[in-house]
Amino acid sequence: MALKIVKGSIDRMFDKNLQDLVRGIRNHKEDEAKYISTCIDEIKQELKQDNIAVKANAVCKLTYLQMLGYDVSWAAFNIVEVMSSSKFTYKRIGYLAASQCFHENTDVIMLTTNQIRKDLSSPNQYDTGVALTGLSCFVTPDLARDLANDIMTLMSHTKPYIRKKAVLIMYKVFLKYPESLRPAFPRLKEKLEDPDPGVQSAAVNVICELARRNPKNYLSLAPLFFKLMTSSTNNWVLIKIIKLFGALTPLEPRLGKKLIEPLTNLIHSTSAMSLLYECVNTVIAVLISLSSGMPNHSASIQLCVQKLRILIEDSDQNLKYLGLLAMSKILKTHPKSVQSHKDLILQCLDDKDESIRLRALDLLYGMVSKKNLMEIVKKLMIHVDKAEGTTYRDELLTKIIDICSQSNYQYITNFEWYISILVELTRLEGTRHGHLIASQMLDVAIRVKAIRVFAVAQMATLLDNAHLLTGNMQRNGICEVLYAAAWICGEFSEHLENPVQTLEAMLRPKVATLPGHIQAVYVQNAAKLFATILKNQEGNTDSTAAQETSQMMIDRLPLFVQSANLEVQERASCILQLVKYIQKLQQKDVEVAEEVSALFAGELNPVAPKAQKKVPVPEGLDLDAWINEPPSESESEDEQPKAIFTKEEPKHSRPRHTEVDEKELARRREARKQEQANNPFYIKASPSSQKVYQEAPGVEHIPVVQIDLSVPLKVPGLPMSDQYVKLEEERRQKERAEKKKKEKKKRKEKRSGRGKKHDSGPESEEDITPAHVVDIVTEEMPENALPSDDDDKDPNDPHKALDIDLDNLLETTARRPLADSEKLPVRSHRAAGAPKSSAEDGEAENATPQEPKKKSSKEKRDKKKDKERDRKRSKEEKKKKKHKHEEKEEDLLGGQAEEPVVQSEETKEVEAQPTSTSAEVSDLDFWLSNAPVPSNTQEAATVAEAAPAPEAPAGTAADSEPEEPKDTETEESKSSKHKKKKQKKEKEEKEKKKKKKHHHHHHHHHSDGGGEESVQNGTVEEEEPLPPMSNYCLLAENSYIKMVCDIQGNLQDGSQVVVSVIFENKSDSFLKSMEFNVLDSLNSKLQRPEGSGPHDGLTVPFQLPPGVSNEARFVFTVQSIVMPQKLKGTLTFIVKNEDSSTHEKLDFKLHFTCTSYLITTPCYSDAFAKLLESGDLKSSSVRLEGVNMPFHHLLARICFHHHFSVVERIDSCASMYSRSIQGHHVCLLVKTSGQTVSIDAKCDEPTLLGNVLDEIKQTFSQC
Amino acid sequence: MIKAILIFNNHGKPRLSKFYEHYNEDTEQQIIRETFHLVSKRDENVCNFLEGGMLIGGSDYKLIYRHYATLYFVFCVDSSESELGILDLIQVFVETLDKCFENVCELDLIFHVDKVHNILAEMVMGGMVLETNMNEIITQVDAQNKMEKSETFIFQSTRQDR
């Protein structure tokens, strides 16, 4: 018998699969929980078995139970076991379970690293796929770090199925391990052009997601996305891209201009509503970003509004909703165009769909004007009455108040009307927004002086009828209004008609049922009222009235003295004593009114809510400075940041300071609470008093008879707001009539006719004069209040970490290439024991104990090499692609250009250079500058030409690679470069002539283009050609050979300098076997190919026949760039004649000037200004006397010889900018008067600056 | 990003829940309940979007749902997703289910929630849309099912005979 049971249960254990479990649960509806708990017991048994199939089955069931809300984290280890099964079926079950219940704090996750890595590299694509899917749900920072490299490899997998998953998961990896973004980005970008549409879509998806959070870093991808947008037919991709552009346009208005046309085309052509909608949305974003200077501006808005109207009128509620949503975006910037659709929007207020009503409400906010405010609010009030459900009604209420109070009550012409609206709103049942109404009442009464008489009268009635408001305790939210009413009546009591009656109303016993803070206000204001009454009554001959009032106070106040609320108690007892004393004096016939009212004399002014925050920090007060020096241990840490921040403005450091303070305070408070809680002698607040006086829930406990009124309340004697609407209309009509009369008179004098049009047209905003002159007192702000600098970015936002500069990475013309530390950790890395974080590594090693240690370092080297090779290859490929793409772009735009044929040829020729030499940023500028004006191809061509320094500076990216000089192929290209240069100069001349016509228009745009460009601008204006210039200077010369050289910093590498040497054979002999050698200094070293010794020379990769010259490049690594230096070197060569050959040698001194470390970098004037403001730069200046050349020549020389670019030029004054290869900013302000030139300069490295200035001085002393 | 995908029936019983952000089990259940509460009280002919509940999302998030017979399909998404796009995606999801289960009904989802998960995994990964092409999704799902079949297993072969 017992055996049978055991056997049966074992059978069941084996048998019950997911379907059985589900069926069982369905069959045990009454005792589901019990049934499931037995099932869980069974599952526990199953998990204990060795059979993986049984385990997998159990895990599968657990996944189901997890969905029902059962915690299954206890089985995490078993899930890992199932995940590591070799069978796909079980693996999938395991990964599914893991994806459902693993999270960052699941500790077994760290055991999975190796298993996942194994699955990722599995030959079966579905193993990999399942692992990727699972990982996407539970990736942790550790997993991300350890697996980033593996996933990156998968991005280039042969199967698109894997590629797209790998691409997609990279986003999760970036989020968890932001360091991986830079190394992975180039490949991710590559995937944008993947042949498989799925992969492409995934890449777009990821980049859009990244760009949404940190759009500015992705601006440089705009051309690529633009191309995708115009070529893709996949609506998903299009939608994503268009959404992305919506995020980018606010940063770059030029992009918006370029976008408008294709987007408009899409709007016209697409049949997909989703796409149409997103296009409209982005066009709106573009329009918002553009200032209103666009010509086609209004047409685009009109188009959008039109399309949206169609959406809103559609019977599909979804379209209606979205239409309203988008409309509200237009509203912010172009309220006029939306206002014309007011009818439609008001109609939507009646929609049965709450979502739509809410959207329509949002729109109303921006549509009101002085003219229609009353009408709209009236409609809303009707809706308030009709509305079912408190949420929608509360929404209506807040909207009414928002609409009326917006921009400082701008649209309210009649405040009496507004007050009566507020009073009407107090009759809402069950609203939570009593305090909102109250604060409006207070605000209006305080700030609009003219309205006080009316407001006081209304408030007095409210107080008198307070029982109607407080009667029903369910409506307790509204009693907040009484707070405002009491205060207004007290503060402005001089306006009360019947103060005694109001005083009486304020001291009724019923008041004691109100919340404490309201009672407190009642008591305080009763005292104010009392003072006023005394003042009024003392003038009378009959003193009994005054004494009666005092008596009333004395009779009524004790009720409040007994209040459980401390505030009420305190105020009441204080005032009671005061009144008693006054009564004594009164009985002696002493006049007290003056003194009593002096208690409350003086006006209370409204203070802006932000006022406190805005008080500027007084000069000389450093909130960050220690009052007492901190203990010594922390000193060293604090010292450094201090040094950096002392120069900054105090506002930067202030928020941080308070934040710390708040945290500290909170901590202390918590500690104190803890202490108090643990202290048996500490008297805690009695629960009863808390109950009564804490807001809403507490009040319910007060036993009060509920008055249930089915009829909507009408407070007797209160004017209805509708009356005002009518009155207002009448008033306006009258005004209009009067105006008409006047106008007619005028017109009769002049001429008749045309007049009717004007009369019948709607009155314009300005025509409406407010009912009474209203003086809206502005809120007080402290003197010298600082402008708002609230930063509402959430510091905990994970996307903040992804705000990483990616521009430099693109096209690998990196100014900041990947440092070794940035490369993704490869598995072997850790095993080799990188010193970086030994603790972490220890852990990781525990998890991966089998890894062979010795092999790893070799592996690492190999991998690195592979990587490098890969990178190079991809670089080259990319370059090719880029060119193609650019050409296409050109063609595309060529269609718009005026003289496309001639121009585009020229462009193509020069195109090749800028793409590789100039940084990505200027590429974008180039792309963008193509856009707006038809004549721009021409412009672009000049920009493109100007971008590379005329003497072909660093060459292509590949050229600067250290191995290059060996490459013989380059020879040809170099010699051809010389030819090109000549051609180019000629072209420049031609173009200058052409350009003169349009020149003045694009002067400003151009300064972004590149240094030389701005100089050219100068030249054209003054019509004087520049003298020919060359940076090549003589290095050494003898009877055989002449060497001239130019030294340029390497764009790619902050520690490299490229020396281009032109060797010219002056003899009649053949020169061969040239060897170039330099004696390295500590600071600068010649880069030699791997394997050669430190003193070996470099073979010059060509021979020189008689009379021929050729150029070779040599790369040097430098450490410090702040000082100029000289290197001694020798060139050895063999002179070969017909009969003999001799060894010759030429010594030279290579002079690295500081100038050669500077790189021409364009700089926008605003960025320039910011840089100067930052205060990080040290300044220095120099004067040049006797400079006898035009200013533009002077600038051109500085630009040319010293690698600066002109930021801005105004008359005889120009600001210039350059950057060193190590990122130092150098800013110059050059002024000239007569023959004196003064240069004020700033740089973050004073030594470098000094040297650069010396060099500039020298340049000009030579000429 | 998609924050969560929920399927529940007209009574609020969960048929599938996929959260792309971690919540503990209790919160998950609360979210399902809240979402059901929000969605179920809406009429048939109102729009398919609603601003997210308190628990999930906040102002940046929206619930986008479709109601098919006895089931609600709800996607909780942020502003980077196109509303109409997600509606289409739900349609693709349902059609795919229909193809894979041959006239899908609630019972299929009840008994084969794991399969539904597998299908969903081919469409949405880690909260991002992976594939929207139905044929591609079905191809991949079928291929994986085939693989599963080729691996023999003990517990199912015995059961399926019945």
Higher pLDDT, residue A685 or B124: B124
Q: Using 50, 70 and 90 to split pLDDT, how confident is the model at A1043? A: confident
Mean pLDDT within A1231-1242: 84
| A709-739 b/e (C-beta count within 10 Å ≥ 16 → b) | eeeebebeebbebeebbeebeebbeeeeeee
Nearest to A126 among B26, B45, B144 (CB): B144
Q: What is the pLDDT of residue A860?
A: 47
Distance (Å) of CA B58 to CA A251, A398, B3: 26, 19, 12
Report strand pairing: A1141-1152 vs B14-19.
unpaired
pLDDT at A206: 92
Average pLDDT over residues A1097-1115: 81
Q: Which residues of B touch A96 (CB under 8 A)?
A: 114, 117-118, 121
Contacting residues of A for B2, CB less than 8 Å apart: none
- Return all residues near A305 (Cβ < 8 A) that are at least 6 apart: A327, A330, A337, A338, A340, A341
ipTM metric: 0.94
Q: What is the pLDDT of residues A515-535, one digit of tens each?
A: 888 889 999 999 888 888 888
Is residue B154 within 8 angstroms of chain A, CB to CB? Answer: yes
pLDDT at A1155 (0 to 100): 83
How many Cα neighbours within 13 Å face the side chain of A951? 19
Strands A1213-1220 and A1205-1210 turn out to be antiparallel
Confidence of residue A1128 (pLDDT cuts 50, 70, 90): confident
The answer to whether the CB of A485 falls within 8 A of the CB of A464 is no
Residues in chain B closer than 8 A to A318 (CB atoms)? 47-49, 83-84, 87
Supply angle C-alpha A285, A286, A292, rounded to 5. 115
**A929 has a pLDDT exceeding 60:** yes
The residue of chain A with its CA nearest to that of B149 is: A89
A17 pLDDT above the threshold of 50: yes
Residue A587 amino acid letter: Q
B156 contacts A355? CB cut-off 8 A: no
Domain containing residue B32? 2-161
DSSP state of A92: H
For the whole model, what pTM was predicted?
0.56
Task: Indicate if the pLDDT at residue A96 is higher than 60.
Answer: yes
pLDDT of residue A770: 55
Q: Is A801 near chain B, with CB under 8 Å?
A: no
Q: Chain B closest CA to A701's CA: distance in Å?
A: 28
Distance from CA of B75 to the nearest CA of A (A): 15
Q: Answer whether residue A245 shows pLDDT above 60.
A: yes
| Candidates A53, A206, A355; nearest CB to B155 | A53
- Asked which of A48-52, A558-562, A874-878, A1084-1088 is least confident by mean pLDDT, the reply is A874-878
User: Inter-chain contact A355–B88, Cβ cutoff 8 Å?
Assistant: no
Q: What SS3 state is found at A973?
A: helix
Distance CA A399, CA A365 (A): 7
The nearest alpha carbon in chain B to A62 belongs to B114
Q: B69-104, pLDDT tens digit by residue?
A: 899 999 999 888 888 999 999 999 999 999 999 888
Rounded to 10 deg, the angle between the A544-561 and A566-587 helix axes is 160
Question: Are B50 and A96 within 8 A, CB to CB?
Answer: no
**Chain B interface disruption, residue of A103, A106, A137, most B CBs within 10 A:** A137
pLDDT at A471: 57
Pair A130, A88: CB distance under 8 Å: yes
Question: Chain B, 65-124: which have a CB under 8 Å from a chain A CB?
Answer: 80, 82-85, 87-88, 110-114, 117-118, 121
pLDDT digits (tens, 9 = 90+) for A722-734: 667 677 677 777 7
Closest CA relative to residue A460, chosen from A711, A707, A715, A709: A715
- What is d(CA A652, CA A656) in angstroms, rounded to the nearest whole number? 8
Provide the CATH number for the domain around residue B7: 3.30.450.60
| Candidate from A168, A355, A356 with C-beta closest to B128 | A168
Using the structure block, give the residue that is written with the tokens 């899930």: A79
Q: What is the DSSP letter of A1157?
A: G
- Residue A28 at interface with chain B, using a CB cutoff of 8 Å: no
Lowest average pLDDT, out of A49-63, A179-193, A783-797, A1213-1227, goes to: A783-797
Which residues of chain A make contact with B162, given a CB cutoff of 8 A? none
Q: How far is A828 from chain B (nearest CA, A)?
A: 28
The two tokens of residue A395 are 């929404």
Query: Distance between CA atoms of A782 and A1212, rounded to whole angstroms?
Result: 42
A376 or A710: whose pLDDT is higher?
A376
Closest chain B residue to A356 measured between Cα atoms?
Answer: B47
Q: Spell out which residues of chain B touch residue A321, defining contact as CB-CB under 8 Å.
A: 47, 49
Distance, CA of A200 to CA of A189 (rounded, Å) = 10
Neighbours of A232 (CB within 10 A): 18
The Cα–Cα gap between A143 and A110 comes to 7
Which among B80, B88, B132 has CB closest to A243?
B80
User: What is the average per-residue pLDDT within A441-457?
Assistant: 87
> How are beta strands A1109-1118 and A1056-1065 bridged, if at all?
antiparallel
Long-range interactions of A535-540: CB distance < 8 A, separation 24+: A535/A593, A535/A594, A535/A596, A535/A597, A536/A499, A537/A593, A538/A591, A538/A592, A538/A593
- The torsion defined by the Cα of A659, A664, A668 and A674, in degrees rounded to 10, comes to 80
Of B85, B130, B155, the CB nearest to A202: B130
Is the pLDDT at A475 greater than 60? The verdict is no
Check CB contact of A218 with chain B, cutoff 8 Å. no
- Count of positions (residues) in chain A: 1263
- Closest chain B residue to A245 measured between Cα atoms? B80
Nearest-CA distance from B140 to chain A in Å? 9
User: Which residues of A fall within a CB distance of 8 Å from B117?
Assistant: 63, 96
For residue A641, is pLDDT > 70? no
Q: Is A799 on the interface with B (CB under 8 A)?
A: no
Of A54, A133, A205, the CB nearest to B129: A205
Q: Which of residues 391-430 of A touch B (CB under 8 A)?
A: none
Q: Which residue of B has its CA nearest to A55?
A: B155
In A102-196, which ranges are continuous DSSP H helix? 113-120, 125-138, 141-154, 160-176, 181-190
**pLDDT the model gives residue A951:** 42
pLDDT band at residue A875, thresholds of 50, 70 and 90?
Answer: low
B46, B48, B113 ranked by CB distance to A67: nearest: B113
Q: How distant is the alpha carbon of residue A559 from its chain centre? A: 57
Contact A579, A557 (CB under 8 A): yes
**Mean of the per-residue pLDDT values for chain A?**
73
Q: Tell me the nearest-neighbour CA distance from A323 into chain B, angstroms.
A: 12
Least confident of A418-422, A508-512, B110-114: A508-512
Given B46, B110, B128, which is nearest A205 (Cβ)?
B128
Number of domains in chain B: 1
Of the given ranges (A138-147, A467-476, B79-88, B138-147), which has the lowest mean pLDDT? A467-476
CA distance A1161 to A1217: 7
CB-CB: which of A15, A93, A168 is closest to B159? Answer: A15
Scan residues 79-108 of A and list those with Cβ closer than 8 Å to B: 87-89, 92-93, 96, 100, 103-104
pLDDT value for B64:
92
Interface test with B, best of A55, A133, A204 (most B CBs within 10 A): A133
Chain A to chain B Cβ contacts (< 8 Å): 160
The pLDDT of residue A1027 is 60
For residue A966, what pLDDT is reported?
A: 43
The C-alpha atoms of residue A231 and residue B6 are separated, in whole angstroms, by: 35
A910 pLDDT above the threshold of 60? no
pLDDT computed for residue A377 by the predictor: 87
Residues from chain B that touch A88, judged by Cβ atoms under 8 A, are: 144, 147-148, 151
- H helices present in chain B, as ranges: 25-40, 83-101, 106-111, 113-123, 134-150, 154-160
More confident residue, A423 or A1030: A423
B1 vs A contacts (CB less than 8 Å): 209
Substitution target in B29, B39, B141, B155 with the highest count of A β-carbons within 10 Å is: B155
Query: At residue A956, what is the residue type?
Result: T
Inter-chain touch B24–A137, beta carbons under 8 Å: no
Give the model's pLDDT for residue A448: 83
pLDDT of residue A753: 44
- Which of the four pLDDT bands, split at 50, 70 and 90, describes residue A92? very high
Q: Of residues A697 and B142, which shows the higher confidence score?
A: B142
Q: How confident is the model at residue B55 (pLDDT cuts 50, 70, 90)?
A: low
Contacts of B151 in chain A (CB under 8 A): 87-89
B113 to A64: CB separation less than 8 angstroms, yes or no: yes
> What residues of A are in contact with residue B136 (Cβ under 8 Å)?
198
**Residue B14 forms contact with A (CB below 8 Å):** yes
Taking a C-beta distance cutoff of 8 angstroms, is the pair B83, A322 a contact?
Answer: yes
